[in-house]
Amino acid sequence: MQPRIVKIMRLVLMFACIVLFGTAGLVVFMHLQDPVEIIPHQTPGIVPLHISHLILATTLGSRCYLGSPGPGQAKPGPEGGHIQPRQRRRRLLIKKTPIVIALNSSTVTLAQLGPQDAGAPVGHWHRLYQVQRERKKIMRDTCAKYKSNSRRVITPYHVSRIFVEDKYRVLYCEVPKAGCSNWKRVLMVLSGLASSTRDIQHNTVHYGNTLKRLDGFDRQGISYRLNTYTKMLFVREPFERLVSAFRDKFEHPNSYYHPVFGKAILARYRVNATREALRTGSGVRFSEFIQYLLDVHRPVGMDIHWDHVNRLCSPCLIDYDFVGKFESMEEDANFFLRLIGAPRNLTFPRFKDRHSNEERTTTRIAHHYFAQLSPLQRQRTYDFYYMDYLMFNYSKPFDDLY
């Protein structure tokens, strides 16, 4: 009789283990799913009832998590929402249960400027409007061709790089190394936080916690602003942006990028690296940096300074009203400021506040760095940024690329 009881207990134990492992596997599977894939298609503009009771939690991006509500309480936000308290518990919650928001197409149309605006002839404004129409058409055509746009939903991650200026109703998606520091200065002046862009130091721009970010608002606040504010981003030729980031972060002393990225890159890709190099992370070569960038098993993760614009700003999900380019920054930026009715004495700053004695990264300088690579490395780097090249209509930087 006793052996039979033991046998039954073993069967019960085996069944319990099977149920336990099955449940654990299901939990892991649900945790890893992209919410865009598991939420059924919704009519644009309608928030699904089964998620309407959930709160939009905040997420933490690299650098500049902005806005400063008091401890333990929400800060009222103008016209459609509150800024949620930033708590670690909520940041962990959003990783487990991302909230999706149905997104309308923007109802914003660019203001019409005439000859009385800034004394420019009508033909000048007509040309700039036409440039905007062409850029947005190329961007939308690329999205329609290469990306499924049937599910118009976003998560807080998609808006984590968008800064908010409520007075002039502007949303700006930050693309590092494409004029983002000076654009933040402009937003601070528009918000009344400074009287001049010249008065704002670099550390205040990036670490001052003065500007608001869109993922700091609740669901209604995000939806309202996406559908009624003027949304803009500025982009840059991908190879030049990449070289600019490398020069800034690895060719100058840096207390973050050298120990975090430099040490990992040197340990993985430099043969017979010296103890001093491995200790400090200084002296990374451009070819080693490219090896890291193209490695699917990177020893350290991606960074916003060289990530794709397509991932930073989600232009296939968010209908940007204005697309500017670093290469025509002064003209594009000042055109945008006139469109939103900014003060006439506010123009986009020209100064370079970091390494000001050093020449800006140009096409010539970018070619010099990429000439250090093999044709295969250049091709793979072009492939890495292929969607950015297509979406923003940049030409191939080398003739041998395909």
pLDDT of residue 215: 94
Look at the block and give the residue holding tokens 């999900």: 317
pLDDT above 80 (res 269)? yes
Average of per-residue pLDDT across 231-251: 97
- Between CA 241 and CA 251 the distance in angstroms is 15
pLDDT of residue 120: 66
Residue 24 covered by a domain: no
Residue 330 covered by a domain: yes
* pLDDT tens string 373-395: 999 999 999 999 999 999 999 99
Residue 68 covered by a domain: no
Residue 395 covered by a domain: no
Lowest mean pLDDT segment, chosen from 184-193, 204-213, 374-383? 204-213
Number of domains in the chain: 1
- Answer yes or no: are the C-beta atoms of 68 and 128 closer than 8 Å: no
pLDDT above 90 (res 175)? yes
pLDDT above 50 (res 184)? yes
Please give the mean pLDDT across all residues of the chain. Answer: 79
- Answer yes or no: are the C-beta atoms of 216 and 66 closer than 8 Å: yes
Lowest mean pLDDT segment, chosen from 110-119, 155-164, 235-244? 110-119
Higher-confidence residue: 24 or 330? 330
pLDDT above 90 (res 354)? no
pLDDT above 80 (res 17)? no
- Between CA 58 and CA 89 the distance in angstroms is 10
Residue 9 covered by a domain: no
pLDDT class of 398 with cuts at 50, 70, 90: very high
Strand segments (E) across 67-199: 75-77, 81-83, 101-102, 153-154, 162-165, 170-173
Average of per-residue pLDDT across 166-181: 95
- Between CA 401 and CA 246 the distance in angstroms is 22
Average of per-residue pLDDT across 178-191: 92
Any idea what DSSP says for residue 301? -
Residue 30 covered by a domain: no
- Answer yes or no: are the C-beta atoms of 99 and 217 closer than 8 Å: no
- Answer yes or no: are the C-beta atoms of 185 and 349 closer than 8 Å: yes
Look at the block and give the residue holding tokens 């017979």: 272
3-class secondary structure, 231: strand
- Contacts with 178 (C-beta within 8 Å, 6 or more apart), sequence order: 234, 235, 236, 241, 326
Lowest mean pLDDT segment, chosen from 114-118, 221-225, 380-384? 114-118
pLDDT of residue 198: 85
Higher-confidence residue: 110 or 85? 110
pTM, 2 dp: 0.73
Residue 86 covered by a domain: no
3-class secondary structure, 57: coil
Higher-confidence residue: 200 or 184? 184
- Residue range of the domain that includes 147: 114-238+308-351
Residue 66 covered by a domain: no
- Between CA 60 and CA 257 the distance in angstroms is 19
